[in-house]
């Protein structure tokens, strides 16, 4: 498999609003980020992915863009951004931008002009007349991802527009060549400035097939088969690919509902390749049914099956991504680990995914083991998606009011968006002002400053596994995944095997109880070198709660 720089990256994701406030107004900003570049570099990561920093009314916290060419004034200026770009490059780190082009904000000039039927812009969005006698019936029965109907009436234009996300996020019409030229212009603008790649938001949704009522079985996602994927998706992505080809940059597409079989239609290396890699979601469903709002017990075998599938099916032909957290997912220790065994399970989870093949991602706060927020009332939430989920759960009448609240508290994206915990100072050192959102009350114990001082912290462990991933890259990054103890509901074990036969062996007790180490011991080759563990010493007869180990066996001479 061809080696490329972006395959080897560990990427740190910043959700700017909650990362660090540099000017005391309570909102995270670019000055705050600039002051933390050395910290980010100290993790051993080689890139930063910025969730959107562009001008936006923030109805979906930046994923509703009103101007692709300027920075949200709350976050700073283009000069601030350029200082970060230069500062990151000077430290050997790449910068990845979020490219959100399935939709814009309804405050974007394009949308305003489109609503006014300006000849240049009138077909920039997906407008349809209403149906029925009064012309006010929805054009079709598609549902939005933020549940509700996917159409919104626009009085000025006298038509409906499509929004697969919030009402304030009208979908762009990529069937219009002029829209595709706009997208290319945006891409070139940032690439010319020197950014190193794009994470492309719900990019697999950009092509839509006309469709009236249809039989998709899950009402919440009704209509999805018309755009996931749509008829021209590969054509449009290929056009965008040509832009990036002129630069030393890469493309990572976010791809909801993606399977490895379908992913290969986009990311198989070679002349038809449209994206370098994808964010898939299947490994985030080990504690739920399709969406984290429909919670189930954590199921290790379900998780193993997903890794087995993706690691095997892409091996040698396409490239994976590995993440456990982002701004859309609750904190992983609270989901797949144990808050009681926070440090042990945080390290176990770091071990679990860091040595899989694929580009590696760490979300802000994950490296210090931040936890979900203890939500007490509906007033505690701010995310549009949380309220949509509440609404739809209430409408089904399947859940008690208490259960609706519990489901939302468990699944809410708000969990990932609390302020970054830098120190035990007021507001966790995130701001000197009034923070725009909650600071988790556990900040006195869980914060960067405390973690720096504690040699056994999750933070130091992340630094260590990130360094090992690079040091042993022939196995960790490029090796073949060989699952061990596949039937075990308790132990996650695998080998990564390099072309020359060297082996990296990972063994983890993924439960909060001790388990016999007899089976795990058989996975470790004689003479293997012990690289790291979250407990002191080597493996004893029992694996303690969340005990994790990594060994390395060099090729036989």
What does the per-residue mask of binding to ligand NOJ show for 16-55, with x meaning CB under 6 A? ----------------------------------------
DSSP single-letter state for residue 369: T
Q: 3-state class of 470 per DSSP?
A: helix
Q: Closest by alpha carbon to 308, among 503, 520, 494, 490?
A: 494
Q: Which residue, 254 or 325, is less far from ligand NOJ as judged by CB?
A: 254
Q: Which residue, 58 or 440, is less far from ligand NOJ as judged by CB?
A: 58
Query: What's the rounded Cα separation, in Å, for the pair 292 and 211?
Result: 29
Q: Which residue, 94 or 413, is less far from ligand NOJ as judged by CB?
A: 413
Q: Which residue, 169 or 475, is less far from ligand NOJ as judged by CB?
A: 169
Minimum gap (Å) between residue 60 Cβ and ligand NOJ: 5
Q: Which residue, 57 or 525, is less far from ligand NOJ as judged by CB?
A: 57
Binding status of residue 202 toward ligand NOJ by CB under 6 A = yes
DSSP single-letter state for residue 75: T
Q: Which residue, 203 or 466, is less far from ligand NOJ as judged by CB?
A: 203
Q: CA angle, corner 539, sides to 535 and 540, nearest 5? A: 105
254 tagged catalytic: yes
Kindly tell me which residue out of 60, 152, 367, 372 binds ligand NOJ, with binding defined by CB under 6 A: 60
201 tagged catalytic: yes
Q: Which of 152, 171, 254, 547 is catalytic?
A: 254
Minimum gap (Å) between residue 172 Cβ and ligand NOJ: 12
**485 vs 30, 304, 306, CA distance in Å?**
46, 10, 15
Size of the site for ligand NOJ (CB under 6 A): 9
Minimum gap (Å) between residue 51 Cβ and ligand NOJ: 7
Total length of the chain: 557
Binding status of residue 100 toward ligand NOJ by CB under 6 A = yes
Minimum gap (Å) between residue 93 Cβ and ligand NOJ: 22
Enter the tokens of residue 93. Answer: 């780190």
**Strand segments (E) across 416-521:** 480-484, 491-497, 503-509, 515-516
Minimum gap (Å) between residue 202 Cβ and ligand NOJ: 5
Which residues between 310 and 329 bind ligand NOJ (CB under 6 A)?
Answer: 327-328
DSSP single-letter state for residue 60: T
Q: Closest by alpha carbon to 318, among 368, 375, 275?
A: 275
Query: What's the rounded Cα separation, in Å, for the pair 124 and 113?
Result: 9
Minimum gap (Å) between residue 58 Cβ and ligand NOJ: 12
Tell me the HSE value of 461 on the side-chain side, using a 13 A CA sphere. 27
Enter the tokens of residue 29. Answer: 């900003």
Q: 3-state class of 87 per DSSP?
A: helix
* Secondary structure tally for the chain: helices H, strands E: 16, 22
Q: Which residue, 60 or 276, is less far from ligand NOJ as judged by CB?
A: 60
Minimum gap (Å) between residue 199 Cβ and ligand NOJ: 9
DSSP single-letter state for residue 535: S
Q: Closest by alpha carbon to 12, among 95, 99, 100?
A: 95
Q: Closest by alpha carbon to 91, among 49, 40, 21, 32?
A: 40
- CB within 8 A of 518, min separation 6: which ones? 541
Query: What's the rounded Cα separation, in Å, for the pair 143 and 151?
Result: 8
Q: Which residue, 58 or 114, is less far from ligand NOJ as judged by CB?
A: 58
Enter the tokens of residue 179. Answer: 């829209």
Q: How far apart are the first and last CA of the chain?
A: 24
Phi/psi region, residue 502 (left: phi>0; alpha: psi -120 to 50; beta: rest), is: beta
Query: What's the rounded Cα separation, in Å, for the pair 388 and 319?
Result: 34
Q: Which of 201, 276, 287, 414 is catalytic?
A: 201
Kindly tell me which residue out of 6, 63, 142, 323 binds ligand NOJ, with binding defined by CB under 6 A: 63
Kindly tell me which residue out of 46, 171, 196, 201 binds ligand NOJ, with binding defined by CB under 6 A: 201
Query: What's the rounded Cα separation, in Å, for the pair 228 and 206?
Result: 8
Q: Which residue, 208 or 496, is less far from ligand NOJ as judged by CB?
A: 208
Q: Which residue, 124 or 478, is less far from ligand NOJ as judged by CB?
A: 124
Beta bridge partners of 17: none
Which residues between 249 and 278 bind ligand NOJ (CB under 6 A)?
Answer: 254
Q: Which residue, 104 or 354, is less far from ligand NOJ as judged by CB?
A: 104
Binding status of residue 414 toward ligand NOJ by CB under 6 A = no
Q: CA angle, corner 226, sides to 220 and 231, nearest 5? A: 155
Query: What's the rounded Cα separation, in Å, for the pair 67 and 209?
Result: 27
**450 vs 16, 49, 425, CA distance in Å?**
22, 25, 11
Q: Closest by alpha carbon to 196, among 325, 312, 326, 47?
A: 47
Determine the residue with CB nearest ligand NOJ.
63
Query: Which residue is associated with the tokens 């919440």?
Result: 220
Catalytic residues: 201, 254
Name the residues that contact ligand NOJ, by CB under 6 A. Answer: 60, 63, 100, 165, 201-202, 254, 327-328
């Amino acid at each position: 498999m061809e080696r490329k720089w972006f395959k080897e990256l560990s990427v740190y994701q910043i959700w700017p609003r909650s990362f660090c406030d540099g000017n005391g107004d309570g909102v995270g900003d670019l000055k705050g980020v600039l002051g933390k570049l050395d910290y980010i570099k100290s993790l051993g990561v080689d890139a930063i992915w910025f969730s959107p920093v562009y001008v936006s009314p923030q109805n979906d916290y930046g994923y509703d863009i009103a101007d692709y060419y300027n920075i949200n004034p709350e976050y700073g200026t283009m000069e601030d951004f350029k200082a970060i770009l230069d500062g990151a490059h000077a430290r050997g780190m790449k910068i990845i931008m979020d490219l959100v082009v399935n939709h814009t904000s309804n405050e974007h000039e394009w949308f305003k002009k489109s609503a006014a039927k300006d000849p240049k812009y009138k077909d920039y969005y997906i407008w349809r007349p209403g149906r029925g006698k009064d012309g006010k019936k929805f054009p079709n029965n598609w549902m939005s991802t933020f549940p509700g109907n996917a159409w919104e009436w626009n009085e000025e234009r006298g038509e409906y527009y499509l929004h697969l996300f919030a009402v304030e996020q009208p979908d762009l019409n990529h069937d219009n060549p002029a829209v595709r030229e706009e997208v290319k212009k945006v891409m070139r603008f940032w690439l010319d400035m020197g950014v190193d790649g794009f994470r492309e938001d719900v990019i697999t949704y950009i092509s839509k097939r006309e469709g009236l009522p249809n039989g998709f079985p899950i009402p919440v996602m009704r209509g999805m088969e018309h755009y996931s994927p749509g008829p021209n998706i590969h054509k449009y992505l290929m056009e965008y690919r040509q832009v990036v080809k002129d630069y030393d940059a890469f493309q990572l597409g976010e791809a909801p509902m993606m399977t490895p079989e379908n992913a290969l239609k986009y990311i198989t290396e070679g002349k038809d390749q449209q994206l370098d890699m994808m964010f898939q979601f299947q490994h985030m469903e080990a504690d739920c049914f399709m969406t984290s709002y429909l919670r189930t017990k954590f199921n290790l075998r379900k998780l193993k099956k997903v890794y087995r599938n993706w690691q095997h099916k892409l091996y040698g032909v396409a490239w994976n991504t590995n993440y456990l957290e982002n701004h859309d997912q609750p904190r992983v220790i609270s989901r797949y680990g144990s808050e009681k065994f926070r440090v042990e399970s945080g390290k176990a989870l770091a071990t679990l995914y860091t040595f899989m093949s694929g580009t590696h991602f760490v979300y802000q706060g994950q490296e210090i083991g931040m936890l979900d927020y203890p939500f007490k009332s509906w007033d505690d939430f701010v995310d549009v998606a949380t309220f949509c989920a509440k609404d739809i759960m209430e409408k089904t009448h399947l859940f008690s009011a208490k259960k609706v609240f519990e489901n939302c508290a468990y699944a809410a994206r708000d969990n990932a968006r609390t302020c970054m915990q830098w120190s035990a100072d007021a507001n966790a050192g995130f701001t000197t002002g009034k923070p725009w959102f909650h600071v988790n009350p556990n900040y006195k114990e869980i914060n960067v400053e405390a973690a720096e001082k504690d040699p056994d912290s999750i933070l130091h462990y992340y630094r260590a596994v990130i360094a090992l991933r690079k040091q042993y890259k022939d196995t960790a990054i490029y090796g073949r995944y060989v699952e061990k103890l596949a039937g075990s509901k308790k132990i996650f074990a695998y080998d990564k095997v390099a072309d020359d036969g060297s082996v990296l062996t990972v063994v983890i007790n993924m439960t909060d109880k001790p388990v016999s180490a007899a089976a795990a011991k058989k996975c470790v080759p004689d003479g293997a070198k012990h690289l790291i563990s979250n407990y002191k010493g080597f493996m004893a007869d029992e694996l303690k709660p969340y005990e994790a180990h990594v060994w390395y066996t060099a090729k036989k001479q």
